[in-house]
């Protein structure tokens, strides 16, 4: 699994070059540097959890792709010499979306694992099935309030989601706007708030 560590270095180098920002994985990897600003300016710290959200279908090729991803993640978990320390779980929600949830101590590991899985799904022809990549944070300056950065694969941009109550479906739009204003110049951010789709009752 040493290639995952190489993937980290390659993604960071590609993100540093404006001309190479051409695909989802490279755009997602902007978090490898911008998470420092999230911490220092806002107080957002990663919980060590993220997820790739994929619309399922009943076709044989989709099932084969899903099993291939699971074999890859199983092998990664067993690799004791790997520079990347990750674990995973999968959940299918009541909307029919498959959540591939990754757990890791470092955001670089989460990014490497998630983009590797995303690349596998895309290479197998299911790019249109990917809804989003979701990264969970907590606000150490606001009673550990849970916040999320969502990467929308349709629009190729991030947006914030700060739920207040999943039951009442309320969100902290003021905090979401503050996150966007601070981070918009550091990462690809969706400025059209109508495209900030809430992810209620997400399994993170």
Instruction: Tell me if 54 is assigned to some domain.
Output: yes
Instruction: Tell me if 151 is assigned to some domain.
Output: yes
List the beta bridge partners of residue 54.
Answer: 98, 130
Instruction: Tell me if 202 is assigned to some domain.
Output: no
List the beta bridge partners of residue 165.
Answer: 170
Tally of domains in the chain: 1
Instruction: Tell me if 200 is assigned to some domain.
Output: no
Domain that holds residue 155: 2-192
Q: What is the pLDDT of residue 29?
A: 87
Measured CA to CA, the distance from residue 191 to residue 142 in angstroms comes to 24
Q: What is the pLDDT of residue 77?
A: 82
Instruction: Tell me if 70 is assigned to some domain.
Output: yes
Instruction: Tell me if 149 is assigned to some domain.
Output: yes
Q: What is the pLDDT of residue 85?
A: 81
Instruction: Tell me if 181 is assigned to some domain.
Output: yes
Q: Which residues of the chain carry a pLDDT beneath 70?
A: 1-22, 80-83
CATH number for position 12: 3.30.70
pTM above 0.75, yes or no: yes
Instruction: Tell me if 198 is assigned to some domain.
Output: no
């Amino acid at each position: 699994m040493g290639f995952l560590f190489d993937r980290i270095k390659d993604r960071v180098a590609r993100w540093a070059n404006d001309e190479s920002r051409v695909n989802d994985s490279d755009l997602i990897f902007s978090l490898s540097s911008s998470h420092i600003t999230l911490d220092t300016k806002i107080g957002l710290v990663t919980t060590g959890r993220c997820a790739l959200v994929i619309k399922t279908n009943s076709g044989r090729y989709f099932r084969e792709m899903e099993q291939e991803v699971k074999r890859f993640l199983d092998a990664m978990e067993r690799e004791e010499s790997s520079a990347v320390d990750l674990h995973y779980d999968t959940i299918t929600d009541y909307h029919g979306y498959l959540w591939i949830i990754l757990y890791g101590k470092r955001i670089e590991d989460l990014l490497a694992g998630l983009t590797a899985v995303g690349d596998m799904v895309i290479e197998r022809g299911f790019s249109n099935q990917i809804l989003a990549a979701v990264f969970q944070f907590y606000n150490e300056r606001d009673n550990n309030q849970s916040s999320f950065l969502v990467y929308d694969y349709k629009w190729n941009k991030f947006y914030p989601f700060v739920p207040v109550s999943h039951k009442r479906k309320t969100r902290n739009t003021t905090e979401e706007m503050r996150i966007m204003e601070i981070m918009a110049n550091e990462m690809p951010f969706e400025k059209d708030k109508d495209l900030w789709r809430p992810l209620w009752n997400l399994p993170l």
